[in-house]
A and B are shown apart, each in its own frame.
Chain A
Amino acid sequence: MDVRMGGRPVVEIRMRVNGVMESLDLEPRVSLLDALREHLGLTGTKKGCDQGACGACTVLVDGERINSCLALAVQYDGRAITTIEGVADGEHTHPLQSAFVRHDGFQCGYCTSGQICSAIGMLAEHGAGAPSAVTEHLSADTIELSDAEIRERMSGNLCRCGAYNGIVGAIREVASGESGRDVMEAAR
């Protein structure tokens, strides 16, 4: 550990963020959320509650969704992070981004980047056969992604505008269509 920045100890960490290797000198108490927003300028990821209760800060780490507000950035040294800025394929929006627009999956938009990153991670989990709290037969090999399953699996993302019906509709469309496979590929 080095000492810089006004005498505070800092740690050098390296993360691949949206495909770009980034090197940061951070105090150990800096959250992954603040590292992304304040140090890398990636303000698409939002700070809602800052205590793991709302999901606005959801990002993908090696394809798995987490709450970046409760993550210390130093613990993610060497990992690959995907934020909302990294989900599109060049000029082409991610299928979930397009579906959220079509289905009015937001009003104010503050929770949207977290919702979309969470949905990408959720579809990958479902694709890998993971059950949820509403799954009736835990030992089943395939689990149908019903609306009840989508709602339970997305319960970590709150929307204070109440755009839930649009959010569920957007996810259902992507999960059931051809684009669903693209989503799962992208998350791997």
Chain B
Amino acid sequence: MKAFSYVSAADVPAALRAISTEPNAKFIGGGTNLVDLMREEIERPDTIIDITRLPLSGVEELPGGGVRIGAMVRNSHLAAHRLIRTRYPMLSQAVLTGASAQLRNMATVGGNLLQRTRCLYFYDGAAACSKREPGRGCDAIGGFTRGHAILGASEACVATHPSDMCVALAALDATVVAESVRGVRRIPMTEFHVLPGDTPDVETTLAADELVTAVELPEIPVAATSAYRKVRDRASYAFALVSVAAALETTDGAISAVRLALGGVAAKPWRAHQAERVLLGAPATDETFERAADAELAPAVAQSQNAFKIELARRVIVATLRRLHTEGSAA
């Protein structure tokens, strides 16, 4: 690991001043991804600004409904919080399926948003990777692509976003609150991460000097009937091959409210707008669920080794919706 200077910020203004004045600086939260990337020298900051002591560790109800989650809330505390377990069970489940208990005790909500891909070619310094070195090309294409994207990929990059939490946040219409010395900005979760295009090194719409201070969840009654289902190569402690965050409400047999997002399939948490359009107002039947899945996956393109993911995504969407309809949520 390259040597660096360390600064601990006591409050948000101090953190914002530090990031805008220190050259080549990065914020550090729980460090569960950044420390690893620094050890591999994929990240080489000259200064790290410790933000774990910032007073951003609260989970509180917002006036008029909704919940505000401080950026320094640790993943384990978020998942265990009563408000989240009862009102947004898909979010608790999503967080609990990510990483291990030890890592969830360290990792922060803000850091989870900014996780980088676990693509093996991104981590392997000997491989070509345009995310690591813009313009180098992509050795993953035609290589070991079991974990790679089927939606929204480009010729420059086929990596997936690794977060489970972010999939639930995309389904729940969350808003990311970011601050810099220029002021406060509110970014819809579905616009926080970006698809690779020609610049896979650009992963979010967050500016280099902006600090994520909170994530806000709107009041969504349908979220109380929700679930997160994750399929992976082992039963626990693995990244998703495919995951589905879903919320479903029916009135007289017809779908009256729905939220759907997919994980493990793209460079960003994939909000399934096409599927939602098919589902809303339609009868809550397997036929509808299948039609919705097909609509969302119509543009899917397989890499050399992951064609199974398209069918897997289809089946997990249908199974998750069916279970929500027949058995209700995990709450």
Contact between chains at B35 and A125 (CB < 8 Å): no
Given the known inter-chain contacts A130-B76, A131-B79, please indicate yes or no for A138 contacting B32, CB distance below 8 A: no
Report the Cα distance A75→B101, complex, angstroms. Answer: 19
Q: B105 near A65 (CB under 8 angstroms)?
A: yes
How far, in whole Å, are A27 and B38 apart by their CA atoms in the complex?
A: 14
Residues of B within 8 A of A142 (CB): none
Residue B324 is within 8 A (CB to CB) of chain A in the complex: no
Contact mask for chain A residues 1-16; partner B; CB cutoff 8 A; 1 contact, 0 none: 1000000110100000
Among candidates B38, B48, B106, residue contacting A67 with C-beta atoms closer than 8 Å: B106
Chain B residues touching A, range: 35 or more
State whether A1 and B5 are in contact (beta carbons under 8 Å apart), knowing that A75-B28, A131-B80, A139-B85 are contacts in the complex. Answer: yes
Which residues of chain A (160-180) have a CB below 8 Å from chain B?
Answer: none
A-facing residues in B3-32 (Cβ within 8 Å):
3-6, 8, 28, 31-32
Stretch at the interface among B90-98, B151-159, B245-253, B299-307: B90-98
B205 within 8 A of A: no
- Taking CB atoms, residues of chain B closer than 8 Å to A31 are 35
- The answer to whether B186 has its CB under 8 Å from any CB of chain A is no
Once bound together, how far apart are the Cα atoms of A29 and B237, in whole Å?
26
Distance in angstroms between the alpha carbons of A29 and B270 in the assembled complex: 35
Instruction: Find out whether the CB atom of B101 lies under 8 angstroms from the CB atom of A125.
Output: yes
B52 contacts which chain A residues (CB < 8 A)? 75
Across-interface contacts of A72 in B (CB, < 8 A): 6, 28, 31, 35, 48
Indicate which residue in A75, A131, A135, A155 contacts B31 across the interface (CB closer than 8 Å): A75
Provide the bound-state CA to CA distance between A71 and B50, in Å: 12
Cβ of A136 under 8 Å from chain B: yes
Contacting pair B85 A138 (CB below 8 A) = yes
In contact, B93 and A136 (Cβ under 8 angstroms): no
Residues of B contacting A11 with CB < 8 Å? 6
Q: Are A156 and B237 in contact (CB under 8 A)?
A: yes
Q: Contact between A133 and B5 (Cβ–Cβ < 8 Å)?
A: no
B103 in contact with A28 (CB, 8 Å): no
Say whether A156 contacts B101, CB under 8 Å: yes
B3 partner residues in chain A, CB cutoff 8 A: 8-9, 27-29
In the assembled complex, which residues on chain A have CB atoms less than 8 Å from the CB atom of B6?
1, 9, 11, 28, 72, 74
A131 touches B96 (CB 8 A): yes
Q: Does B220 contact A (CB under 8 A)?
A: no
The answer on a CB contact under 8 Å between B101 and A153 is yes
User: Smallest CB–CB gap between A8 and chain B, Å?
Assistant: 6
**B85 contacts which chain A residues (CB < 8 A)?**
131, 138-139
Contact B39 A50 (CB under 8 A): yes
Contact residue among B4, B31, B235 (Cβ-Cβ distance under 8 Å from A70): B31
Q: Do A70 and B97 form a contact, CB below 8 Å, given A29-B4, A138-B331, A139-B331? A: no
> In whole angstroms, how far apart are the Cα atoms of A72 and B80 in the complex?
25
Partner of B236, one of A70, A118, A129, A155: A155
Q: A18 in the interface, Cβ–Cβ < 8 Å?
A: no
Task: Say whether B326 faces chain A, with CB atoms less than 8 Å apart.
Answer: no
Q: Does A66 contact B (CB under 8 A)?
A: yes
Residues of A within 8 A of B5 (CB): 1, 9, 28
Q: Is A188 at the interface (CB under 8 A from chain B)?
A: no
**B1 is an interface residue with CB less than 8 A from chain A:** yes
A122 at the interface (CB under 8 A from B): yes
Indicate whether B89 reaches chain A with its CB closer than 8 angstroms.
Answer: yes
A52 beta carbon closer than 8 Å to chain B: yes
Which residue of chain B is the closest to A65 with respect to CB atoms? B102
Contact B330 A138 (CB under 8 A): yes
Q: Is the CB of B31 within 8 A of A129?
A: no
Do A137 and B106 have beta carbons less than 8 Å apart?
no
Top 6 nearest A-B pairs (CB, nearest first) are: A156-B100, A28-B6, A155-B236, A133-B96, A130-B80, A155-B237
Q: List 10 A-B contacts (CB under 8 A).
A: A9-B6, A28-B3, A52-B102, A70-B35, A75-B28, A130-B80, A133-B97, A138-B85, A138-B89, A138-B92
